[in-house]
Structure 1
Amino acid sequence: MRKIILFGLVLMSSLSCMAQDKMYEIHGKVTNFNGVPIDSVTIRLMNNKFEAVYETLSNEDGDYLMNVKEGDYYCLYAIRLRDYRVRKLEYWNWNVPVHQNMTINPQYDRMEIYGINAFEPQVTPQETYMIYFRPMSLSKSLQLVSDQKIEKKSFEDAERTEELLDKSDKLINISPDSITQDELTIEINGMPSKIVGINKIREYARGFFMYGYCVQVLKPKQNNEALSGYDLISVTLNSAETGEIGKGEAFVRR
């Protein structure tokens, strides 16, 4: 009898915890940079172990919807899988705080804006953000694969490109050689942000070096709050060197 009562208490406690889990909606529309909807795009919400915890597909109108448990998620990414490394690269949105219903509208093409991080320099007034990101060009990636005589199918199927590369050459040079203010658009909560500095940075990761960029921007004087307590930073690069365009986003706690 005691075991039955104990089991009942544990079950009731579990059900109570489940009932307390808040669920919120992430929805949006996937388009190209001309506003044309993209169907059959896989959208995944990832945890900090880079595991997909929620996944859905966009419909013929580019619309998607996910009901997810409240929490802070590492990133959200979008790509039509059959296009990846063939015709397009990915869209990423970092540090996704799901504490209310959210709208995220992915856009992607052949330039991937990866690994966005942002912080406020320790100086008053706190009027700027330093934004780091790594742009990756599909055309330069394909050229690298060709130069190293890697089979195209192996490149398309590889989980990580660096696993296929010649380990004697420690540089993966797939970013634009330079970026100007005319090529780069930074928005904070949908408002244009003035760029005051662009610096190229050599980054180390998994045994190789790659190039990223650190951009300092002024915060817009008018701040249309995208999400309570957070700024949404959007980075769009239209590279004159490669003729490719890409976009990435990240949420930053204020």
Structure 2
Amino acid sequence: MKKIIFINFCLIFLQVNAQNDLITISGVVSDFEGNPIDSAIVELKHSDFQTAYETLTDVDGRYKLKVLKGEYIALASMRMDEYPLANSVLPKNKQRLEFWSWNVIAQEDIILNIKYHRLEIYGVNVFRIQGAAPGYTIYCRPMSLTRGFAELDEKELSFIDLCPPPEELDIRVEINEQPVKINMKQKIKEYVNKGICY
């Protein structure tokens, strides 16, 4: 009898500890007009870019992931039938890019309401350059699907420069809800596996 009680206690203890190692990431996926996007994939990625957790949004755009506490490289969301690189058959004006959130630190429950459409800010990284003036460098790849489709007659979509020129970008940066001065914007070249990416 004592052994059975002890085993039951151990199982309950293990179950409670396992639940303490889990957090919930939840929210709503919508467009910028507030229309929910149903059947969108929401996935959390390991540092090797393999999918750690994945779910689909419901008809109201809601999603919920129960995940192990930890650090993840990204959280992404898209609806595959709207995504041009997944061979979407929708009219061009109905296709969308995807949403990315980078360097997800999952230590407590997170509510992340996702909005995306035809403009994407990909690969956001913020860092200080050692030995430079005080400040931060923000690196990202802004991509415009509208711009990409305008060039589509000449090239394949996967080789099109989707990045708008810096002078066309309205960029605002806030730190702790306070606007900060932007010293400069510039377009850079980046090497990718099939050539140069802008």
Contact 2:119–2:144 (Cα < 8 Å) also in 1: yes
In structure 2, C-alpha distance between the alignment counterparts of 1:191 and 1:61, rounded to whole Å? 33
Taking a change above 3 Å as real, the CA distance of residues 140 and 76 of structure 1, as seen in their structure-2 partners, is same
1:98 matches 2:106: yes
Match of 1:129 among 112, 129, 136: 136
Q: What percentage of aligned pairs have identical amino acids?
A: 34
Structure with the bigger RCO (C-alpha within 8 Å, sep 6+) is 1
1:184 matches 2:171: yes
In structure 2, C-alpha distance between the alignment counterparts of 1:84 and 1:190, rounded to whole Å? 33
1:16 to partner: Cα distance: 5.7
Contact 2:70–2:105 (Cα < 8 Å) also in 1: yes
Counterpart of 1:84 in structure 2 is 83
Q: Deviations over 1:146-192 (max 9, x none)?
A: 313x5xxxx6xxxxx35xxxxxxxxx4221123356x2233445554
1:108 matches 2:88: no
1:103 to partner: Cα distance: 1.6
Taking a change above 3 Å as real, the CA distance of residues 207 and 139 of structure 1, as seen in their structure-2 partners, is same
Counterpart of 1:119 in structure 2 is 127
1:138 to partner: Cα distance: 1.5
Contact 2:166–2:185 (Cα < 8 Å) also in 1: no
Output aligned runs, 1:155-194, within 5 Å. 161=158, 172-180=160-168, 183-188=170-175, 192-194=179-181
In structure 2, C-alpha distance between the alignment counterparts of 1:130 and 1:195, rounded to whole Å? 10
Amino acid aligned to 1:102: I
Counterpart of 1:246 in structure 2 is none
Tell me, what secondary structure is at the counterpart of 1:44? strand
1:40 matches 2:39: yes
Q: Deviations over 1:100-125 (max 9, x none)?
A: 11121211111121111111344699
Q: Report runs of 4+ in structure 1 exceeding 6 Å deviation.
A: none
Q: Deviations over 1:227-251 (max 9, x none)?
A: xxxxxxxxxxxxxxxxxxxxxxxxx
In structure 1, C-alpha distance between the alignment counterparts of 2:15 and 2:136, rounded to whole Å? 39
Counterpart of 1:242 in structure 2 is none
In structure 2, C-alpha distance between the alignment counterparts of 1:113 and 1:129, rounded to whole Å? 18
Q: Deviations over 1:28-60 (max 9, x none)?
A: 111211222222211000111111110111222
1:65 matches 2:73: no
Tell me, what secondary structure is at the counterpart of 1:179? helix
Counterpart of 1:142 in structure 2 is 149
1:22 to partner: Cα distance: 0.3
The unaligned stretches of length 5 or more in structure 2 are 1-9, 89-94
In structure 2, C-alpha distance between the alignment counterparts of 1:194 and 1:19, rounded to whole Å? 46
Taking a change above 3 Å as real, the CA distance of residues 196 and 76 of structure 1, as seen in their structure-2 partners, is same
Taking a change above 3 Å as real, the CA distance of residues 105 and 192 of structure 1, as seen in their structure-2 partners, is farther
In structure 2, C-alpha distance between the alignment counterparts of 1:35 and 1:193, rounded to whole Å? 28
Q: How many residues align?
A: 177
1:204 matches 2:181: no
